Chains A and B, each alone.
Chain A
Amino acid sequence: MGPNPKMRKEFFDSTRSSPFPDEVLERVLSLLKSHKDLSPEIVARRFPRVKSVTLKGKPRFSDFNLVPENWGADVHPWLVVFAAKYPFLEELRLKRMAVSDESLEFLAINFPNFKVLSLLSCDGFSTDGLAAIATHCKNLTQLDIHENGIDDKSGSWLSCFPENFTSLEVLNFANLNTDVNFDALERLVSRCKSLKVLKASKSISLEHLQRLLVCAPQLIELGTGSLMPELTACQYAQLENAFNQLKNLSTLSGLWEASAPYLPVLYPACTNLTFLNLSYAFLQSHELESLLCQCPHLRRLWVLDTVGDKGLEAVGSNCPLLEELRVFPADPFDEEVIHGVTEAGFLAVSYGCRRLHYVLYFCRQMTNAAVATIVQNCPDFTHFRLCIMNPGQPDYVTNEPMDEAFGAVVRTCTKLQRLSVSGLLTDLTFEYIGQYAKNLETLSVAFAGSSDRGMQCMLEGCPKLRKLEIRDCPFGNAALLSGLEKYESMRSLWMSACNVTMNGCRLLAREMPRLNVEVMKDDGSDDSQADKVYVYRSVVGPRRDAPPCVLTLSGL
């Protein structure tokens, strides 16, 4: 019955009686943070009183359609056990789990104290499930529906909140597209005086937004709906006024179809912004610059690459406190027209934003020299995720591999926890990583490496490695099998489109009985090929909810 979530247990109600003071409990519990595959029964046995649960299910590459849809990670068995053992459960946060409407209804009905539901990158449910939550969860404070594969049937779920329901503090339905009943939403927002976070969907117009803001000037985080212009001058003035009332706003997102004439309406609300998410707004460099001038305290910025290198220069000039930057590609699959950002933009940011420690950067060209300079400027990177979008592309100036770039990253950034590599890379990159990346926990590798040695270097170095995900690399059985002991200290290994065979996987499973070795095969592939391999520790053996396309090789 056990799906494959990794469970991190969270805390006790300190008012309950317990033989230990809270500080002791916390210490013990943090040591018990479990990253092995567990079953609900084991969890319930080990942790007798739980208020809050976070479950993470599928491998991360399921976000990119590399994992079969019915792979597993069904939340329902967990809910059944929780209903029996933790009836006073208050918080449930799910990431990459399979969630059905039945499960949501079960949750809504069986947990009278339920307060917080967060669904991130989950799938299998529809807006009917949300309706059940809205209908039954009388004490709900947070409903956070984020980036899910949801069957968006209708917006009527929002009208299911009872008229006497007032406890909502967080409402995020940005993921959804169907129209909600705006009057119901307006009434809901009006009566929930503690509402701090409101992230609306695209269906909410500017006019609607103005009315909502008037009801909720206390908002700390706002996700607008569509900024598609359709206001009269008078309406524009009213909107400007509404934004002016938002004195406490620290996060601004949404901004779909943001266009130049309306951006200034946001300015009054920008003074205290620390997080600005423009990743749905097609902005040009000058529009971004004007906006950034209004945000002196910005720490986190997400943008589309439409802003170009010039826009990133503006970031460097205007955001001295910036800690996190994410640049997404507007047209990741459009090969005909070239635009976006280059190494120049990244360099410009690094000169101006010395506190930068988290970057996710999609680009179409990069050089070793630029990266070396960037990490010299910003040596405190903890998360360095660089995606040169054309697989196997070298330094476009020197035509050399990008080995030295990532060598510079791992040598200079001693606090590095997460790294994603790209571009043309030989085994040398992995020698560097193995040798220098002492704090690295998560490593993502695609279209890289020259031989098994590359993977071996990663497995033999990197003492803190937890998650290794590899795709389309020339690593075979020898590489896979060089990490036998290592896998027991890791959370998981993913390898797809590499050179691993079924025999190699069988050997791994035989040698390491405490690992689950799951193999997923592509249609039409050779019998001997192990197209996708997922390896993780388990104390319960093969999971029983694996579909036929997933074969678990177990040494048990």
Chain B
Amino acid sequence: MEENTRCFNMASAHKTQKASEDKKLELRLGPPGETFLGYKTNPSNHGAKRVLQHPVGAKTSEGNWFTDSEEKQCKKFSCYEEEAEKVLSFPWLSSSLRSSTFHREAQKELQKPEPSFLQSSEVEELQYPDKMACSTPASASFPATTDGTDSCHKRCALAPVVGWPPIRSFRKNIASSSISKMVPELPNKTPKEGSSLNPDSFRNDLFVKINMEGVPIGRKINLKAYDSYDKLSVAIDELFRGFLPAQRETGDPMSESKMDEAKENESSVSGSREYTLVYEDNEGDRVLVGDVPWHMFVSTARRLRVLKSTEKVSVGVNKQEKTPLSGAIEL
């Protein structure tokens, strides 16, 4: 759901928003510092607020959404009353707006709270996430993603936000044009170690996301830095070792001292029976790490996950069986 909250062009929500904006305009060109009645914050802020309230662990969506705005409703009503009074004394407000009609309207607004209005706009928003044009989804380590987000992730990837990131168009195409060129072997020069000789390895880095179940912060790992599954396992151990004890203690995975302790105490992550290492490939399938030859793994792996083995998780070991893992994984 997190990705949903980053979907910005919500036509229907905007409509109701704008209608209320106009109403507000007539009633109060008020002093700063107040929020508007029924103001539906930018969806990104909704998502943000949820993040703030629920930094770690599972996020169910609907319940929290409503709770959020109910609280806000109450806050806003009290603000609103103050504002309606203040606005009449605003010096530059043109006199036509100070008519008795206006005043009557203001009173009406105060007396008739409109929870149904708010409710319906929220419902609209929730119904529309699939259809909304989404911003480019998170590539960074954003806490706790559910599988639901992956599908939105794919949808979102198809409809990027116009003009974001703010890159000039002539800069946008250099990636594709560069990678597509073959770099031929040089007659009298030995290529330096690590320099590329084919398009696939034009760049010597292939960073993929790796998430560990129960750890809100994902990491990145460079698959091209290794040449075998063994070395990859070692690297993954290093990456996540520090998270294990830290998780149980204060939830501060970045604390260095804890990392040191962890190194002494913990058994390896990827070698243990407690955890299963899986990856998502370029076809979207979930595969057990180690199933395919190393080079095939490197060229098809898009994302890694460290899952708790105690969960009943079936991965697509034979690729015909694409088991949806949404139910089983709780991150």
- Give every chain A residue within 8 A of B191 (Cβ-Cβ): 260-261
> Does the CB pair B29–A477 fall under 8 Å?
yes
- Give every chain B residue within 8 A of A401 (Cβ-Cβ): 48, 52
- Give every chain A residue within 8 A of B195 (Cβ-Cβ): 259-261
Report Cα–Cα, A453/B203, bound state, in Å: 46
Q: What's the least CB distance linking A554 to chain B, in Å? A: 17
Q: What's the least CB distance linking B312 to chain A, in Å? A: 28
**CB contact under 8 A between A335 and B139, given known A229-B186, A329-B167, A478-B24:** yes
Q: What's the least CB distance linking A82 to chain B, in Å? A: 29
Residue among A256, A401, A499 with the highest chain B CB neighbour number at 10 A: A499
| Binary B-proximity of A448-488 (CB < 8 A = 1, otherwise 0) | 01111100110010000000000111101110011010000
> Does the CB pair B163–A474 fall under 8 Å?
no
B296 in the interface (beta carbon within 8 A)? no
Contact of B136 among A306, A335, A457 (CB under 8 A): A335
> Does the CB pair B172–A332 fall under 8 Å?
yes
**CB contact under 8 A between A286 and B194, given known A390-B136, A460-B32:** yes
B: number of interface residues (CB 8 Å): 88
Task: Give the contact stretch, choosing among A34-42, A292-300, A347-355, A392-400.
Answer: A392-400
Task: Give the contact stretch, choosing among B100-108, B110-118, B174-182, B265-273.
Answer: B174-182
> Does the CB pair A501–B25 fall under 8 Å?
yes
Q: What's the least CB distance linking A498 to chain B, in Å? A: 9
For residue B184, which residue of chain A has the nearest CB? A229
Report Cα–Cα, A510/B97, bound state, in Å: 14
> Does the CB pair B162–A284 fall under 8 Å?
no
- Give every chain A residue within 8 A of B206 (Cβ-Cβ): 337
A330 in the interface (beta carbon within 8 A)? yes
Contact of B203 among A65, A284, A457, A507 (CB under 8 A): A284
**CB contact under 8 A between A339 and B167, given known A282-B178, A391-B44, A481-B29:** no
Q: What's the least CB distance linking A362 to chain B, in Å? A: 6
- Give every chain A residue within 8 A of B172 (Cβ-Cβ): 332-333
**CB contact under 8 A between A65 and B162, given known A229-B183, A339-B205, A473-B42:** yes
**CB contact under 8 A between A399 and B41, given known A282-B203, A452-B32, A503-B25:** no
Contact of A328 among B34, B47, B167 (CB under 8 A): B167
Report Cα–Cα, A397/B142, bound state, in Å: 9
Contact of A526 among B14, B36, B92, B162 (CB under 8 A): B14
Report Cα–Cα, A457/B47, bound state, in Å: 23
Report Cα–Cα, A401/B52, bound state, in Å: 8
- Give every chain B residue within 8 A of A364 (Cβ-Cβ): 139-140
> Does the CB pair B8–A497 fall under 8 Å?
yes
Report Cα–Cα, A444/B163, bound state, in Å: 13
> Does the CB pair B168–A147 fall under 8 Å?
yes
B189 in the interface (beta carbon within 8 A)? yes
- Give every chain A residue within 8 A of B30 (Cβ-Cβ): 478
B309 in the interface (beta carbon within 8 A)? no
Report Cα–Cα, A455/B160, bound state, in Å: 26
**CB contact under 8 A between A332 and B165, given known A394-B48, A397-B217:** yes
> Does the CB pair B162–A396 fall under 8 Å?
no
> Does the CB pair A476–B21 fall under 8 Å?
yes
- Give every chain A residue within 8 A of B204 (Cβ-Cβ): 284
- Give every chain B residue within 8 A of A473 (Cβ-Cβ): 42
- Give every chain A residue within 8 A of B92 (Cβ-Cβ): 484, 511
| Binary A-proximity of B17-61 (CB < 8 A = 1, otherwise 0) | 111011011101110111110010110110110011001000000
A-B contact pairs, 15 of them (CB 8 A): A228-B181, A236-B189, A259-B195, A284-B194, A333-B136, A337-B207, A338-B209, A394-B51, A451-B36, A451-B41, A453-B34, A472-B161, A476-B24, A497-B8, A524-B11
Q: Given known contacts A121-B168, A282-B178, A338-B207, what 7 new A-B pairs fall within 8 Å (CB)? A: A63-B166, A229-B183, A328-B171, A339-B203, A390-B136, A394-B52, A477-B24
Rank and list the top 6 A-B pairs by shortest CB-CB distance, nearest first.
Answer: A64-B163, A392-B44, A456-B32, A233-B188, A260-B195, A474-B42
